[in-house]
Amino acid sequence: MQKVILVGKPNVGKSSLFNRLARQRIAITSNVSGTTRDTNKAVVDIEGKECLLIDSGGLDDSSELFRNVKIKTLNEAKNSDAIIYMVDGKFMPDDEDRMMFYELSKLNIPIALVINKVDSKKDETRAWEFINFGVKDLFQISVSHNTGLDELTEWIAKHLKDDVLKADVSDDFDDFLEEFDDEGEFRADENFAEKNIKVGIIGRVNVGKSSLLNALVKDSRAVVSDVAGTTIDPVNEVYEHEGRIYEFVDTAGIRKRGKIEGIERYALNRTEKILEQTDIALLVLDSSEPLTELDERIAGLASKFNLGVIIVLNKWDKSEWEFDELCKEIKDRFKFLAYALIISVSALGGKRVHKLYGLIQEVYQNFTQKIQTSKLNEVVGEATKLHPIPREKGKSVKIYYAVQFGFAPPRIALVMNKPRALHFSYKRYLTNKLRESFSLSGTPVVLIPKNRGESDEDKE
């Protein structure tokens, strides 16, 4: 089985990235340098390709124990198919990292330099100092905020052999086509117009989530208190508004990881399980306070579960922000939620809360909409003419056609001759073109390149 190894000094975030890519908490993570001393391994799926992901011990010469860990790590790296060298973006590059990266580069194994903990513009500026490593493939990420990982996973997939889980990529295209009617439209079994709309209310402690729920359902359904963390169990409320049923869940407020105590740990786990079953997230921010890194991390949960998103700026009566100014700040910091709608409210006084129902309806319609195949292909065709897809190794990369194959959120298959060659930046370009042409505000859009089947060109 192909192997991908995470390498770097202690405490740069290797175990956190390992857990994220494995989609489960396998490796223990902490702020204590050298927590990982042996290698953790897990079989993971990277964009339809299976590989053995290895979380190595940190590269450290401070003791005999850690020198042995380093030797073991380097031996593992020599036998890997791809190397991810991680550094801490909170610090400037150092000679030790530069020399180790250079040594690993001489193995003639694909290697990427991954700068973790890039959480602000200041971090982004510092991260570009690592360009002096002479690296071709450099990625700026924040594992804790779940940003920059799409580009990294695409790089990993690109350097894994195509024959691994190849059937999952082509997906037996005949079976795929069976889901469409004679006019090429996807058969949707669910009638979204009649379903209850499931809305999760998320945010850090004491931002006013419970007050917002009470205002939405016009009842003191949730206990409201100035004591942070009052809500531990999720508060569910089914409410009818203008003939439509809404299922609201006020989730427990989320603290910084180091401040989560006792039963609140279980509350955090339940919050994630709730979001798995949610259509739309109301991300509540306290507009009377500056945005925090924890706000960004919680926003990452909405992105993680591909939810429709409305950002609710609560306590607006106490805010000193200008609305446009705060919206710009949010767009800059929550780039992964650029599609989200934003509204200001004062939940305790009930001001503007009623407008949320119209926004929820709008986002839900976009989240569950069916895009006509002919119009979809017209937009994709115009986009590729305006900005052709870059060639791969001198050969053209073609999108034969596009078709929506899923809902909540919209999932669109791009049927191509070389699906692996479609770069993440081009997918972002296509997504922006789709947003210009269709009503997609408030909802993510999932683009999945698919193989029409092996052609003569592919065999060359």
What is the rounded CA–CA span in Å between residue 192 and residue 267?
30
CATH class, domain 3-158, is alpha beta
Q: Range(s) for CATH 3.40.50.300 in the chain?
A: 3-158, 192-367
Handedness of CA 69, 71, 75, 80 (dihedral sign): positive
Question: CA-CA-CA-CA torsion for 10, 118, 423, 408, nearest 10 degrees?
Answer: 110
CATH superfamily for domain 192-367: P-loop containing nucleotide triphosphate hydrolases (3.40.50.300)
* Residue type at 407 in one-letter notation: F
Q: Quickly count helices (H) and strands (E) in the chain.
A: 15, 15
Confidence at residue 322, expressed as pLDDT on a 0 to 100 scale: 95
Written in H, E and C, the secondary structure of 90-154 is CCCCCHHHHHHHHHHHCCCCCEEEEEECCCCHHHHHHHHHHHHHCCCCEEECECCCCECHHHHHH
| Cα separation, 195 vs 208, whole angstroms | 28
Closest CA to 48 of 193, 173, 156: 156
Q: Exposed/middle/buried for 219, CB within 10 Å: 0-12, 13-18, 19+?
A: exposed
The pLDDT, as a whole number, for residue 288 is 95
At 360, is the secondary structure helix, strand, or coil? helix
Rounded to the nearest 10°, the torsion over CA 274, 280, 281, 282 is: -130
How much is the pLDDT for 166?
37
Give all strands of the β-sheet with 49-55 in edge-to-edge order.
Answer: 40-46, 49-55, 3-8, 82-88, 111-116, 138-140
Closest CA to 306 of 275, 332, 260, 350: 275
* CA 300, 302, 307, 309 torsion-angle sign: negative
What's the rounded Cα separation, in Å, for the pair 77 and 107?
A: 9
For domain 171-188+370-459, give the CATH number: 3.30.300.20
Coil, strand or helix at 324: helix
Q: Residues forming the annotated binding site for GTP?
A: 8-15, 55-59, 116-119, 203-210, 250-254, 314-317
pTM of the predicted structure, to 2 decimals? 0.61
pLDDT value at position 261?
A: 47
Q: How many CA atoms lie within 13 Å of 101's alpha carbon, on the beta-carbon side?
A: 26
Helix or strand holding residue 40 (H, E): strand 40-46
Per-residue pLDDT tens digits of the chain, which is 460 residues long: 789 999 988 889 998 898 888 876 543 343 434 333 346 777 788 887 888 888 887 676 554 545 666 777 788 888 899 999 999 999 999 998 998 899 899 888 999 999 999 999 899 999 989 988 888 899 999 998 889 998 999 999 999 875 433 333 334 444 454 555 545 555 555 678 888 999 999 998 889 998 999 899 886 543 333 444 434 345 678 889 999 999 998 876 555 554 444 434 444 566 777 788 899 999 999 999 999 888 888 888 888 899 999 999 999 999 999 999 999 999 999 988 999 999 999 999 999 999 999 999 999 999 999 999 999 999 999 999 999 999 988 889 999 999 998 889 999 999 999 898 898 889 999 999 999 999 999 999 999 999 865 433 443 3
Tokens 């298959």, residue located: 413
**Annotated binding residues, as ranges?**
8-15, 55-59, 116-119, 203-210, 250-254, 314-317
Nearest to 310 by CA among 340, 288, 337, 333: 340
Query: How far apart (Å, rounded) are the C-alpha atoms in residues 225 and 206?
Result: 8
Can you say how many angstroms the Cα of residue 456 is from the centroid of all Cα atoms in its chain?
Answer: 36
